[in-house]
Amino acid sequence: GVKRDLEGRSIMVTAGPTVEAIDPVRFISNHSSGKMGYAIARAAARRGADVTLVSGPTALDAPDGVRMVPVQSAREMLAEAEEAFTDCDIAVFAAAVSDMRPKNPAGRKLKKGVSDSELASIELVENPDILATLGASKAHQVVVGFAAETNDVIENAQAKLHRKNADMIVANDVGSDVGFGTDDNKVWLVEEAGIIDVPRMSKPELADIILDNAIRRLSE
Ligand code: PMT
């Protein structure tokens, strides 16, 4: 049977991509499918947790028994995540948040026939870092971040662990054949105390391993 070891616990998960408007019909985004974050939300609900899933647009169905909070942009995701974060026991940041957004999205659809000089650039500004913002304000929460790396995976994940004040970073090598959009993932769990090399497996199986390790940090 399923262990109900998250009964009475509250979990917040961010998942999917964010989309950042260029005009009313176009946007900047990325290839996150939401599979990783949704798998964590689903596993946590099965294990008895009260789960809030703050998700950018995906093609996935809402997992059973999970409170869904749909968002579009990074700034919307921050506002909703902040609200869910305050009272949660574990916060998991699996979303692929767009690091930047168009500074001045056009109010109307851009049309053909605009001059090349007007089309030469889309001015970008940096988005807030949701994990770093909430990590800096953490009290009792166990904070689990992700790191999508193409090189120096462990070193970069350790830097994110410190910079974003997380308790654990799930580091994936997205330069290999797993990561964005795939059913499997290959990760290392990076904590201050050490690194766990997790073999390649399905995202639902991995979700339970990530939760096992977050729960261990809860009772410390
Ligand atoms: O959705 P799938 O198709 O299943 O793919 C899964 C995944 C590859 C998206 C997932 O496993 C993953 O790695 N998610 C994090 C992707 C990412 O944006 O990594 P990062 O290294 O750029 O960011 C580091 C951490 O900071 C992440 O926890 C991220 O959610 C967070 N972040 C980043 C930027 C930002 N502005 N705000 C954030 O909260």
Find out whether 203 is annotated in a ligand binding site: no
> Which among 14, 33, 131 is the best mutation to test ligand 1's pocket, defined by most ligand atoms within 8 Å of the CB?
131
In CATH terms, 10-102+123-218 corresponds, of 1.10.3720.10, 2.40.10.220, 3.40.50.10300, 3.10.520.10, to: 3.40.50.10300
Give CA–CA dist 74/17, Å, rounded: 9
As for ligand 1, residues whose beta carbon falls within 6 Å of it are 14, 32-36, 74, 93-97, 99, 127, 129-131, 145-148, 160, 172, 174, 179-181
| 111 is annotated as contributing to ligand binding | no
Residue 219, pLDDT score: 67
Statement: residue 110 has pLDDT above 90: no
Question: What average pLDDT does the segment 50-73 reach?
Answer: 98
**Residue 43 near residue 97 (C-beta atoms within 8 A):** no
The closest alpha carbon to 56, from 95, 92, 102, belongs to 95
Q: Please tell me whether 90 is known to bind a ligand.
A: no
Mutate to test the pocket of ligand 1, among 12, 32, 127 (most ligand atoms within 8 A of CB): 32
Mean local confidence (pLDDT), 68-96: 98
Q: What is the pLDDT of residue 121?
A: 87
Per-residue pLDDT at 176: 86
* pLDDT confidence band for 33 (50 / 70 / 90): very high
Q: Which position has the higher pLDDT, 113 or 10?
A: 10
Return the active site residues: 30
pLDDT at 111: 86
Q: Rounded to an integer, what distance in angstroms lies between the CA atom of residue 209 and that of residue 194?
A: 16
* Distance from the alpha carbon of residue 97 to the mean position of ligand 1, in angstroms: 6
Instruction: Assign 125 a pLDDT band (cuts: 50, 70, 90).
Output: very high
pLDDT at 220 over 70: no
Closest residue CA from atom 13 of ligand 1: 148
**Residue, of 196 and 115, whose pLDDT is higher:** 196
Q: Is the pLDDT of residue 9 over 90?
A: yes
ipTM over 0.95 threshold: yes
Pick the residue whose CA is nearest to atom 24 on ligand 1: 147
Which residue's alpha carbon is nearest to atom 36 within ligand 1?
129
User: Taking the complete model, does pTM exceed 0.90, yes or no?
Assistant: yes
> Where in the chain are the domains?
10-102+123-218
96 Cα: distance to centroid of ligand 1 (angstroms): 4
Tell which one of 97, 185, 198 to mutate to probe ligand 1, the residue whose CB is within 8 A of the most ligand atoms: 97
100 exposed, middle or buried (CB, 10 Å; 0-12, 13-18, 19+)? middle
> Do residues 53 and 160 make contact, with C-beta atoms less than 8 angstroms apart?
no
**What does the pLDDT read at residue 137?**
97
